[in-house]
Structures are given as structure tokens and as C-alpha cells.
Chains A and B, each alone.
Chain A
Amino acid sequence: MALKMTYNVDMCFCIDATGSMGPVISKVKENAISFYQDVTREMERKQKSLDHMRVRVIVFRDYVADEEPMMVSRFFDLPAQAVQFEACINSIEANGGGDEPEDGLEALAYAIRSDWTKEGTKRRNIIVVWTDASTHAIGYAKEQPKYPKGMPADFNELTKWWGDSQMEPYIKNAAKRLVLFAPDAPYWKQITSTWNNVIHYPSTAGKGLQEYTYKEIVDAICNSI
């Protein structure tokens, strides 16, 4: 038996990359390179030491309006691949979008199905969503050519994917955390009122989350670790 405690954290950022999210994406880009140091410094302040951290990014928009409605990256090991992670973030451009709701629930579905680490005595699987819009119901765009097979048919099924203390089909209950920087609007508010292990930081829809500073965002993420 290995005698050392290992604490492994995987994060999946789901970022709404429609036009209005430009300022938020700029903020994320400014801080991408120092993200790892900022998180580990804050964790040390809390007397917690992380052994492994990985981050991946899902960029979502609108299956009806956009040609790239859903794009995903691999996991980046930090700090070893911090430069690649920064390049990945810097390549995101805020554009597109159709009606006000976007397809955030499909992004969540992909996030839940991430290839989460199985290593570590203690693990955290954290999904962070950044959006200034409400979401369509899941399946709203299922007739679109790019809509994938295997997506949950409805909110009920997506809720089962998220799981609970007795049912964890894709993500371990004790390890999972969902941090929502999203408006208090459908279906984000329904998620907060139905799923466990969710913390919702409501944004003012249309203002692009500018009321949260980078430090507040890092604090929010670190509080979930």
C-alpha cells in the first residue's frame, strides 16, 4: 500500500463562446498562464496540497445558429502543459450565437462524460460553467445535423447522468462539483434546485459576468476543491 496521500483534481471548463462573452473570454485569456500557480497558492493558504491537476475546455454555442456549436479539448496536465493550455485558451474567439438561450446543457453532458482520473486517494472532478445566457432544453436542437447521438433525451435523463449519493453512472458523487457562473435563468436555476454539489454564482444576464473578478473566480473554484 502506498503510504502517501495523493490529491488529484480534474477540471472541465465549459465556456459559452458566443459574441457577448467576449469580455469574459478576454479575462480568462489574461489569466490562463498563471491559473495553475494561483490555484495552488490559494490551496496552500488553505493548507491543502494538490498532487495532480488537469484541465480541459469545452466551448459551446448554439446548434441551430453556429457551425461550431460544440468543440472540446483534451485534458492538459498542469503545470507541465501550462503553455499548451494557455495556447488553447488563447485560440477561443467569442462569436456567433442565435437566439438568447445557448446549448449549455449539451456542454454539461459532455463535461459529465469526461475521462476523469481514477488515480489518487482523494479526487475532485470539477465542472465550471461560464455563460451569460439561459439554456435551451436539452434536445431542443436534436434535428440539427451536428447534433450528436447518445445525448440525454431530456432533463430527467441528464439529471441521472449527474447522479446522486446512490447513483453515480459517470462521475463519482463525492468527487464531483459543479460551479455555475450563469444567470438565474432556465435551466441553470433548475439545475441548482435539483442537482447536488452545485454552487451557483448568478450573473446578470447580458452583462457577461463582468461583476466577478478573476480572484473571486479562483476563490470560488478553490472553495470547491
Chain B
Amino acid sequence: MFCRKCGAELRTGARFCGKCGTPAPAGSTAGKAAGTGTGAVKKPEEETVHIFSSSASETRTDTAKTETRKEPVREEKSPELIIHMPETRTSSSNGQFNEWFSEPGDL
């Protein structure tokens, strides 16, 4: 994750940027990969930007930030943790599968 003001990389768990002191966005505690789970990704506010309208006398390019929902924007909740009990965790007993598929290598 990066500081929005100066672009410096934020430490995991940082509440403030170590370089410029700007408060880190909520959810930066989730780690460098912007969430090691899935839920700590902030939903962006939905804005509308008018670019061209044939009915306007001048083309408007100002940004109109509009809430498209009445409820306040809130952080995405982590999806409910569901533990599936797998039917089997062992290697495929399907010999045919290994005829067609292989483990991919490093990229």
C-alpha cells in the first residue's frame, strides 16, 4: 500500500505515513498486498464525471461526486468465513487427470 499524498510505501500495520505523516487509509493493516484475505479492500465512492452532453451549451468537465446509494460508504465486509470440509485433500486418484494436466512451473 502507498501513501496517497507522497507515494511512499506504507509499512504493514502503519497508521501514518512514515515520510509525510499523512494518516494511512483504513485497511492498510491488511498488509502490502492490499489485503492478504479478501475483505479489507475499501469500496470506492461512485462518482459521475460528465464529459459531453448535447443538451449543455458548454461541455461540462467538472466532477460531480454523487453518492449513488443513500447509506454511507463503508468498508467492504470480509465475506463470511466458510470452512468447507473437503471430500478429499489427497492428490487426484483420477489417473486420467494426470494424463492431461500437470503442475505448472514457475513463471
Contact = CB atoms under 8 A, between A and B. Distances in A.
A93 B106 contact: no
Contacts of B79: 100-101, 134, 185-186, 205
A100 B36 CA distance: 14
| Interface of A, helix, strand, loop or mixed by DSSP | loop
Interface residues of A, number: 52
Interface stretch (A42-50, A63-71, A196-204, A212-220): A63-71
Contacts of B37: 101, 136-137, 140
B86 A66 contact: yes
Nearest to A157: B33
Contacts of A58: 104
Interface in A80-113: 84, 87-88, 90-93, 95-101, 109-110, 113
A5 interface: no
Contact of A67 (B91, B94, B97): B91
Contact of A187 (B38, B86, B90, B103): B38
B107 interface: yes
A95 B86 contact: yes
Most buried by A among B80, B84, B94, B105: B84
* Residue in A20, A72, A186 with the greatest tally of chain B CB atoms within 10 Å: A186
B25 interface: no
Q: Which of A88, A98, A136, A137 has the most CB of B within 10 A?
A: A137
A182 B56 CA distance: 39
Given A93-B97, A98-B84, A137-B35, A109 B103 contact: no
Interface string B87-107: 111111010110111111111
A19 B81 CA distance: 16
B106 A149 contact: yes
A62 B80 CA distance: 17
Contact of A91 (B33, B36, B94, B107): B94
A7 interface: no
B89 A65 contact: yes
Given A101-B38, A139-B33, A93 B94 contact: yes
Interface of B: 32-39, 41, 44, 76, 79-84, 86-92, 94, 96-97, 99-107
* Nearest 7 interchain pairs by C-beta: A150-B107, A88-B100, A71-B101, A149-B106, A186-B38, A91-B97, A91-B96
